[in-house]
Structure 1
Amino acid sequence: MAKFRTKPINSITHLFIYALTFLLLWEWLRPIPVVTNTAEIHLFVWFAFFSTVLIYIRVPFWLTIPTLMMASIYGLHIIFYEGSFFSREGGWETVKLFSSEAWYNFGLIFSRDFAYLTDPFRTFLFFLLLALICYLLYYWIFQTRRIFFFLLSTIIYITVLDTFTPVDASTAIIRIVIIGFFMLTLLHMLKIQEEERALGKRGSSFISPAWMYTLILMILAATFVGVIAPKPDPQWSDPVPAMRTLVLGEGSGTGSGVRRVGYGENDERLGGGFVQDNNVVFSAEVEEASYWRGESKHEYTGKGWISDPSYVESESVFEDEVDYYMFEELAVLEERTVSIVMEEGVGFSHLFYPGQLKQLDRDSLTYLSGSEEGNNESIQFNTDTVNGRVQAEGEEDITLTSYDLVYDDPTFPIETLREGSEEDPTEIQELYLQLPDDLPDRVVELAEEIVEDEDNRYDKAVAVEQYFSRNGFEYQTTDVPVPDEDEDYVDQFLFETQVGYCDNYSTSMAVLLRALDIPTRWVKGFTAGEEIEETENDRTIYEVANGNAHSWVEVYFPEVGWVPFEPTQGFDNYADFEEEEIDIDVDSEQNNLEDPERPDTGMDEDLLGDLDEGMESETDTEVSGGSDENWIDFSQFLTLKSLLISLVTLVMVMVIYEKQNRLQNHYFIWHYRFMGNDQRYLTAYQRLLWILENEGLPRGEGETLREYAKRMDLALNSQAMSKLTKTYEKVYYGGYKPDGDWEERQKDWEEIVKSLNS
């Protein structure tokens, strides 16, 4: 009996230490979405917490295993399968699907084909690993009283990720140190208490308040000093390229392997991943955000871009005329100014500018000639009349440090672009239609297929620009392959990998349009950067970092000039495209509606309020993991009454959660049945678009309303959506005032919503 008592019972101290251990485990999960393609990380956190609680309260083994199995299958259902898990068919269907999935993957394991394991089975194994880790942590704390190895492993794991990946662990390491101090100290105290109990010196477990206050004070003081104390800069700016060069012989700038993101000079061989670099290159004070142009390239080799420069001395760069013209008479230009300050240590000798560069202000120009400040009167600029690079020249190496520019900011009338001539000057054709002789035929065939329904240059360019977002291409900066010697860079991206970053997208768009005899050129520079502050004179200061290095496409339109397009996923085109104005006479509620091309934002304030409330409700439910939050309070219920109330509440929440879409749809049917009228026709139509998107039938990016209506009619086996859309377009575009249209179309509106509930 005495021997048995040498093992202490679980106390509040043990629970506190176990909770701290779970927080350490959470630190392992936090970086996973950054370094892998794993999503829904909150599900894994909730599963780990659920496993931790089951193990701590000592649920019998025969009950723990099936409970964790069902929890993992529930997680798989949320991630990979559709429908409700708690519906009559949902959960059982998921179990059947996963059973067949597991049987197939066990065969792969026995045949040692580990690379072909499916994603659901890999996820299940990850759930299993989390459960095992939770038990191992319990064993370390409650049996061996040792946790140092796990703490040390956590520190090594986080620091390695911070060094070699985009993960920023600056705050994580502080949390880990604080948690580690508490855990090690409390575990050491528990060991002392056990030894004293074994000797009969202590009758019960306790923590002295004075001891605890001292511990907290010392940990906070040590952490505070560590945070505010001055620290040396990193001794290695980036160890990855150096190590790869040492071990693999990479890093020569050929475009292969992993590089650091930034503006480079050599574009002959594109491809390969890169690591992020948030070091600031320059700051700019501007009136409007814009891309920063460095230069363009015009000859595609099949592996990258090259260009023969044609420099001329450019004294006029200080006199309101630069020897490089981007726009012609039909482009609408507005003169603007920008002030640029380069970051110390950044060594660029050419200008970065938005729009059409007109003038460099000599008085504002500062630069270094070698290591000395230069003389503005002696500096010479040469302009590459083909590629637009404006380069400073001097007796020694020139490094620009600050300068002010005057430039023209263009606006492009869309109707002018659509209706303009497609007869290009000979010099444009010679330079900007070039393609390699060995370009695969399927690239040309794809280009023709993309634009087969378009009849003008602008719509063809837009069709190619939007092709990538409509066909599952992914933006990715790591593990981006480099084409082999016999592979074409564009062909590989379009037909083999379909993953990449700006160079892949911009080069592919330029080549596809050239295959259609549309002149293009490849442009590189920086995106607008990060907005820092607004000045008193209504201007904005942006910081542009290496991570903003970017490439895009310019397409030539006769009598307009070079128009920028942005095909890269996740990036915005800052160019102004002007639609033909339409005068619509509708009431204030309808005027609040924006362009129907984006129905999710084109709603009045009441509608937006309803949507925000609904979306917040859905988000709160999703983050809390459904019933998990109620289950956490379950262990605190001390009476049968509170237990029954909690169970009833839980069932009601689950039912409401399961039926939330149906309940919302019934509410909107009732609302528009009694509150709908001709004046609210546009609002009702926008609400219908929102309901369809909420039911998993969203409108595709770039899809017109008519195309979307036809697709919905086909899916719902009716003609109601087309009828509603036809009236909507008459009201929105034609200024038609509804007169009894809502009464006529209300049944169509309700028919669609009711069909979603069936």
Structure 2
Amino acid sequence: MKQNIRLLSAYLTSNWYEKLTYLFIAVILSNTIAIFDGFWWEETYAIAYYTLFSAAVIDILLPLRKRFVKLLLQISAAIVITTQFARMDWVIANPEHWQEWVWWLQAHAVQLLPFIWISAVLLMLHVLFGLWIATRPRMFGFIGVSIFTLTIADSFTPIWLWDEVGLVVFIGLLWLVANHMSRLQREHPRSWKELIEYPLQLILPIALVLSILMAVGLNMPSLSPILQDPYTMWKESKGEKVKIFLGDKGTDAITPGSSGNASSGYSRSDELLGGGFEYDYSPMMTISTSHRSYWRGETKSVYSGDGWYDVEGNEEGDTYSRIEKGATLPIQDERPLAKTIEVSQIVTMVRKDAYPVLFAAAPVTRVNWIGNEEAPLPKGLMWMPGAWELRWLDWSMQKYPETYSVTSSIPVLDEEALRKAKAGWSDPSRNALYVQLPDTVPARVRELAEKVTAEATNDYEKARLLETYLRLNFSYNNKPDESKLTGKTTDFVDRFLFELKEGYCDYFSTSMAVMARSIGLPARWVKGFAPGVLPASAYGPPGDMLEEDLNPTGAGTYTVRNSDAHSWVEIYFEGYGWIPFEATAGFSFPYSIAEEEEAPLPDLDGSTGDTAAAGEEDTNTNVKLWAWSSVSLLTILGAAWLIIRREKVIASWRRIRHGSYTNNDRIVIETHKLLRICRKRGMERQEHETLREAVMRWSQSQKRLRDDFRAVIDGFEQAKYSPVIASAEDADRFVVRVRSLIDQLR
């Protein structure tokens, strides 16, 4: 028995370095293919891993000289592994002639595609690298290419590959040690024999040093780069920004007061708002929908002065309701006066993150399916009828759904009806939670809200005035300058309104909610995602038509990115439920607007009486002279009238020229003309940018036009979002400025 063990040990340790080389190659290749995460299926990865490691085991167990035999076994193992994981449907048949055998083999071979090609390529790489890596420089080249590939993918794709990089570095260090030992064995056999007599003393220092190096490397804190790479420096010198896709690296909540900026994404906690963030443009989900909407996540009801949190049980009196497949979900406060539109959505998650809620247009009225149409609904899915939340209970432990289908019933915005409605409930106790404010909110916040809404005659106008005030008087900035803070106030909203005066959606939405509460409008804070973007093909040729004309409902498949994470406000109106408001500059809520009733057309079929057939006979010369004299006299009188009433005539001409457009419409149309010219001059608006962000970016490379650009975007936003109608003189000045800007660009 002992002799057999010795023989086996001697067999396995013979050519030990070459056998370890095949093992190291298999491990490094299996880590490098992680760059295809999101493109390969789980079955593909299983086939790849088993193929590589079965090839390595065959290389270790069989003698090196049996290369042909090893290759046959490795190919056979790859085929068997592929058939096991490719979900093949075996054709039951009893072939009798060779044509039937060929058909039977083809029927099964087709099912191996494309898995068999991936398996074959990996096996070929494993064999070729095993034969090629015979020197130390080639070993360094192989390891270096693997690390370079992983680090590039880690930096510029949504995939997190730091663990794979660390493992490849660790394997590379082990390989280097093994190479050194092999060289020692080959060149100094006596020293090698003496060394292996004390294996513990040989292995322990190596293991200890490598373990310390890897532990320190893997647990080092993340730091911002001290030096920029040349490519980024060159792009920024041209006034351009370099997109960096951060993927899973950008899911944490924004941490105020930190020296660095977090990345955009759905926040896990909202109890401490503030700070700044970097945009993370990695895709988060796709939504196929019948109507464009905001994709709602969670609702928060209690403002603390620093941020938002839920009371116990979330909304007051709100409880979890079980969900039945296809059944209508209850809503705590009915909306008997509201018109609604049914919206169908299929959500497909791109990322593998887990969230506490499922995202959808609000409120959800029916869950159609989770995972697939046949699967039962998960037990962890609950509905909160007051908060309008689809809660994913124990979300940190359960696998988040990869795809699901829901139906929502979104309100139709009827502003005339809402102006007649009262904000809040008739029962004052119901309003208490949604008008709650902490003592940290200074009186000047309420005074400002009262001043802004002083001219309003109803609650809806008050809400719109607050929304417009914030949109027009505060600027959007994902990295607000916190050096402006004086430290005299600790309230988040007070600091924004009177000191910072710039920020992102959390600043705007929280400020509107607090200002609304301060004047008695019941409001709550909502977070989720902005609509995202449709494929480029959905918009038609550049400059052809406005998006609303091409696709009035916004139906399509939207790609929602982490940079679309957003927050907004809802205010309760009796009989109409919770109505959303968008206070953030540069954003626009995709309301469904009530269609105006068509005015009755005048009766064009009435009889005008019989017309005379005069003029059919020849007229004499006197009649012709009289006619020409009349025409001349009328022309002279008309010209005199035009001169006297020229101002009114010009105004009428403008109305005819621009149709039914208002002065605000003229400003918006001229801005779109400018955007088309900018696009032709290479100034593209990126899909993730608001118009203001794009114009500010263009201003960096067109500094002489910075003031004109800024004036145009200010005028556009006021015309687009303000309830105030611009005067004709303002519109004329805007048109002149835009045309001057176009001339300078040409």
Give the TM-score category using the shorter length: 0.3 to 0.5
Q: Which has the larger radius of gyration?
A: 2
TM-score (norm 1): 0.47
